[in-house]
Amino acid sequence: MTSLFPMFLKLEGRPFLVVGAGTVAEGKINGLLLSGAAVRVVAPRANAAVEEWARKGAIRWEAREFSPADLDGVFLVIVATSSTHVNEAVFHEAQRRNVLCNVVDDPQHCDFYYPAVVRRGQLQIAISTAGESPALAQKLRRELETQYGPEYESWIKHLGKARRELFARNIDAEKRRHRLHELASEPPVTALINKGERS
What are the tens digits of pLDDT across the range 85-139? 999 999 999 999 999 999 998 989 999 988 899 999 999 999 999 888 989 999 9
Q: pLDDT value at position 198?
A: 47
Q: pLDDT value at position 194?
A: 55
Give the H or E element holding residue 31. helix 23-34
d(CA 105, CA 144) in angstroms, rounded, equals 23
Give residue-wise pLDDT tens across range 148-167.
999 899 999 999 999 999 99
Looking at residue 114, the DSSP 8-state letter turns out to be: P
| Confidence category of residue 57, pLDDT binned at 50, 70, 90 | very high
Q: Which domain holds residue 167?
A: 151-194
Please identify, among 90, 114, 138, the residue that sits at the C-terminal boundary of a domain.
114
Q: Determine, yes or no, domain membership for 4.
A: no
Q: Are residues 23 and 108 in the same domain?
A: yes
Q: pLDDT value at position 4?
A: 86
Radius of gyration in angstroms for the set of CA atoms belonging to the chain, rounded to a whole number = 21
Q: Are residues 23 and 96 in the same domain?
A: yes
DSSP 118-169: EEETTEEEEE--TTS-HHHHHHHHHHHHHHS-THHHHHHHHHHHHHHHHHHS
Q: Give the 3-state secondary structure of residue 156.
A: helix
d(CA 148, CA 167) in angstroms, rounded, equals 27
Q: pLDDT value at position 114?
A: 87
Q: How many CB atoms lie within 10 A of CB 108?
A: 8
What percent of the chain is predicted at pLDDT more than 90? 78
Q: Are residues 105 and 21 in the same domain?
A: yes
Q: Determine, yes or no, domain membership for 134.
A: no
Give yes or no for a contact between 21 and 48, defined as CB atoms under 8 angstroms apart.
no
Enumerate residues 6+ apart whose C-beta is below 8 A from 1.
Answer: 130
Count up the domains in the chain and report the number: 2
Q: Determine, yes or no, domain membership for 10.
A: no
Tell me the β-bridge partners of 17.
Answer: 40, 77
What is the CB-side half-sphere exposure of residue 48 using CA atoms within 13 A? 0
Please identify, among 62, 86, 114, the residue that sits at the C-terminal boundary of a domain.
114
pLDDT above 80 for 191 = no
Domain containing 90 — which CATH number?
3.40.50.720
Enumerate residues 6+ apart whose C-beta is below 8 A from 164.
Answer: none
Q: Are residues 19 and 80 in the same domain?
A: yes
Q: Are residues 88 and 163 in the same domain?
A: no
Q: Are residues 27 and 86 in the same domain?
A: yes
Q: Determine, yes or no, domain membership for 127.
A: no
Q: Are residues 20 and 79 in the same domain?
A: yes
Q: Give the 3-state secondary structure of residue 78.
A: strand
C-alpha closest to that of 91 among 76, 104, 101: 101
